[in-house]
Amino acid sequence: MKKTLTTLACALVSSWAFAQNQLTISTSSENVIIDKHIYGHFAEHLGRCIYDGIYVGEKNTKIPNQKGIRNDLVDALKKLKIPNLRWPGGCFADTYHWKDGIGPKGKRPSMVNTWWGGVTEDNSFGTHDFLDLCERLGAEPYLAGNVGSGTVQELTEWVQYVNFEGKSPMSNLRQENGRAKPWNVKYWGVGNEAWGCGGNMKPEYYANEYRKYATFMPDGNGAKLFRIASGANSADYNWTEVLMRDIPHELLAGVALHHYSVTNWQKKGPSTEFDEKQYFGTMKQALFMEELVQKHSAIMDKYDPKKKIALVVDEWGGWYEVEPGTNPGFLYQQNTIRDAMIAGVTLNIFHNHADRIRMANLAQVVNVLQSVILTKGEKMILTPTYHVMEMYNVHQDATLLPVQLKSNDYAFESDKLKAVSASASKDKSGLTHVSLVNIDPKKEQDITVDLKGMNLKTVSGRVLSSGKLQDYNTFENPNKIHPVTFNGASLSGNQLKVKLPPASVVVLELK
């Protein structure tokens, strides 16, 4: 009898543990849209991102290209449905003088990239090259203006150069350089990291500088500029408070936020040879994005209750030590299943706060930090992060479906995190998509999903996972990690049951 009671107790405990993972998805009358611009990317003049990444030059290369921009990279980014691309930085933006990057390439002055590696650049990739790239991608350009070492006139003239259609000194100069019609750039960053590499400013000082610069950035061709203020470093809530209080809201469309999943800035740890302790710490920092978004949004709500101003997370991702033997200033790192976990949980957070977060930029697009693409000569590989963003792009411009999630814990030593992350949406064709992440590297997670009378009939999906957290794609084995068909979901009436593998990302489609 005692043995029978013990067995029954174990069964009840097992049943209780199973019931912990419960997800409820419901419709909403608020019709919050997951803005496609949450899926933006970032291309800085840093390491091999621009030169030897995006841009291989027009001469002396066997790599197929159009005006020096490699074709395979463009094709891959198109498949991501990349909505916007931020350039030229980053810290580089506040040392960049745009006029050095226009006109005949052979006559452009060189410069030293003092922020990243101390290399000399010839300015062969400039405004025309970047904006033409954005046109090829079908992406909106997001230009970061130089406030740190530049002038109001310099930024004003840049706006006029790329946006003014009538006769003016700058539009005439643009036409002389081969571009008749303006590009009509909407998104503009007024400086970058003004609290640090952008000038080591105090928030009150930067707010005044922003007011001055933004005042002289003219709207053009009937379109209003989307001006974005250099926002807080992670949990610096006072920075957001001062900007929202001191900047006139008619000059302000977005406030930025930067947060990287770094456990120790002095010793970031390796990108591939990490242990579970380092993994757990990285995921703790990635999930800290939830608290950051909530607290920064609460400050913005106080000054902007109608949520007219966007929270723009225009730098996010994992940051580790560089690959052995590479330039420390180039920030080249590999991309593992850990990075897929970062991407999945972060995008879920952005979705669930889409009422305030309407733009974000993963750092960075190629060969730098948490890249979606890595290149080596003629070879190119897609990273696990690329595959997550491709799987997730079904959420772009879809209607957010609110979720309530009760999750098991992923425990390590004396600490614990929620094992499961989720978000859901309904697209314009009526398809419902659910994104699920299990960050626990050892345990499957069984999830019961209540669909709240949504009357769905079929479920299909894809999964991204691998044997180890440390697995990654190489130039010798570029398809080691890629999405495959997911068969771990079953639908019965209004209840969906899902079995998530350890350390996996799943996207389900229901109709």
How far apart (Å, rounded) are the C-alpha atoms in residues 266 and 291? 24
How far apart (Å, rounded) are the C-alpha atoms in residues 147 and 156? 11
Structural tokens at position 26 = 């419901």
Closest CA to 228 of 287, 309, 300, 285: 309
Q: DSSP strand E in 54-129: where?
A: 65-66, 69-70, 84-87, 111-113, 119-121
How far apart (Å, rounded) are the C-alpha atoms in residues 106 and 480? 42
Q: Is the dihedral of CA 234, 237, 238, 240 positive or negative?
A: positive
How far apart (Å, rounded) are the C-alpha atoms in residues 197 and 116? 12
**Count of CB atoms situated within 10 Å of the CB of 24:** 14
Q: What are phi and psi of 296, to 5 degrees?
A: -65, -40
Place of tokens 């000054």: 303
Domains of the chain: 20-28+402-510 (2.60.40.1180), 36-397 (3.20.20.80)
Q: Active-site residue numbers? A: 193, 315
pTM: 0.94
Structural tokens at position 104 = 């005949």
What type of residue sits at position 367? N
**Count of CB atoms situated within 10 Å of the CB of 112:** 11
Say what the pLDDT of residue 222 is: 66
In contact, 20 and 408? CB cutoff 8 Å: yes
Q: What is the DSSP string of 435-454?
A: EEEE--SS--EEEEEE-TT-
List alpha helices for 138-182, DSSP H.
152-163, 169-176
pLDDT by 10s per residue, the chain, length 511: 444 444 444 444 444 444 479 999 998 777 999 999 999 999 999 999 999 999 999 887 899 999 999 999 999 999 999 999 999 999 999 999 999 999 999 999 999 999 999 999 999 999 999 999 999 999 999 999 999 999 999 999 999 999 999 999 999 999 999 999 999 999 999 999 999 999 999 999 999 999 999 999 988 766 799 999 999 999 999 999 999 999 999 999 999 999 999 999 999 999 999 999 999 999 999 999 999 999 999 999 999 999 999 999 999 999 999 999 999 999 999 999 999 999 999 999 999 999 999 999 999 999 999 999 999 999 999 999 999 999 999 999 999 999 999 999 999 999 999 999 999 999 999 999 999 999 999 999 999 999 988 889 999 999 999 999 999 999 999 999 999 999 999 999 999 999 999 999 999 999 9
Sequence-distant (≥ 6) Cβ neighbours of residue 323 within 8 angstroms = 271, 332, 333, 334
Please give the distance of CA 434 from its chain centroid, rounded to a whole number. Answer: 19
